[in-house]
Amino acid sequence: MFKRALICTDFSDSLQRLANFVPDLAKGGLTHLVFFHNVPLMTSREIPCVDEDKVSAARELLSTAQANAPEGTTVEVEIASGRASENIVRSVDKYQPDIIFSGMPTRSALNEQLFGSTTKTLAEKVDVPILILRPQLVSTFRENELSQRCQNLFNYVLIPYDGSPSAKNLLGKVKGYLQSDPGGALETCLLTAVVDDGGRLTSNNPEADAQASLDDAKAELDGLGSEILTEVRVGNPVEEVLKSGEIHDISAIAVSAGKAKGILKLTVPSFTSAILRESWHPIVHFPRMQ
């Protein structure tokens, strides 16, 4: 599904551990990996300058990735200095990745608003999917667990689907990747619709309507090399999608924001925002609608 990845780590998110699992990432379908780290500028006599010692230390730490590269896999290390989000955007332009790896801890909406997030800023500036991983989990995986995780990052993806424009946008994005790589790593795709039992029902048989919508969506993806499953659930949409992720053997949840700029907003309730904050599964955040 994805071939080129830009793996961004600040060394507090544990994503630097992935440098030791390049062969496993390659088994998961990735053929070009760039490990990126940003070193803040230091101030010498009130003049910002590059901290060469930290740059060298970071390059040495990530050089393991290049030493582990199997045949047919290209691995590069990019160490930049300055503002992290700006340098990541430059690296996206330079390396043209299919996906960006980023760590993002679970937070409340208020904490996100107050303290900000490089991941949040990135999602607003780049037109590239972002794989959001929880540092709390990556740091605790044993080596054999992380090895398996790296091999199966994209093989079973859950897509929440409600027939809305943003859901159709997400479906179209996934369809495009499947068409471009029919033999890729995405083995199974689960389309999940949730009938909100707390909302106003507009149909006498909302579950049947939801299934019909899923059947139409499934038809869009059938024949593109992946097994397409559908599921209708009843309850709170966020809670039911998270429960579905627990029940099924998924590797990630795919989401996409609507037209409103930004993936996390304090004042506007958002399904995508809630999933981003609450899910412990990896999240593949696709670019929002234009």
- Ranking 121-125, 126-130, 156-160, 249-253 by mean pLDDT, the lowest is 121-125
Structural domain boundaries enclosing 62:
4-151
Query: Containing H/E element for 159?
Result: strand 156-160
Mean pLDDT of 39-66: 88
pLDDT digit string, tens, across residues 136-155: 999 999 999 999 999 999 99
What pLDDT is stored for residue 290 in this prediction?
A: 56
Q: 50 lies in a domain?
A: yes
Report the range out of 105-114, 197-206, 250-259 with the highest average pLDDT: 250-259
pLDDT digit string, tens, across residues 56-80: 999 999 999 999 899 999 999 999 9
Q: Is the pLDDT of residue 256 over 80?
A: yes
Supply the CATH number for residue 168's domain.
3.40.50.620
Q: Are residues 192 and 68 in the same domain?
A: no
Q: Are residues 226 and 250 in the same domain?
A: yes
Residue 254: what residue type? A
Taking the whole predicted model, whether its pTM rises above 0.75 is answered as yes
Q: Is the pLDDT of residue 108 over 50?
A: no
What pLDDT is stored for residue 203 in this prediction?
A: 65
Mean pLDDT of 203-211: 88
Q: And the tokens for 201? A: 């029902």
Q: Are residues 229 and 115 in the same domain?
A: no
pLDDT digit string, tens, across residues 163-173: 988 899 999 99
Q: Is the pLDDT of residue 262 over 70?
A: no
Mean pLDDT of the chain, nearest integer: 87
Q: Which of 118, 151, 184 is the last residue before a domain boundary? A: 151
pLDDT bracket for residue 37 (50, 70, 90): very high
What pLDDT is stored for residue 239 in this prediction?
A: 94
What pLDDT is stored for residue 245 in this prediction?
A: 95
CB–CB of 101/15 below 8 Å?
yes
Radius of gyration of the chain (CA): 20
Neighbours of 14 (CB within 10 A): 20
Q: 288 lies in a domain?
A: no
Helices (H), 126-236: 135-138, 143-151, 165-180, 206-221
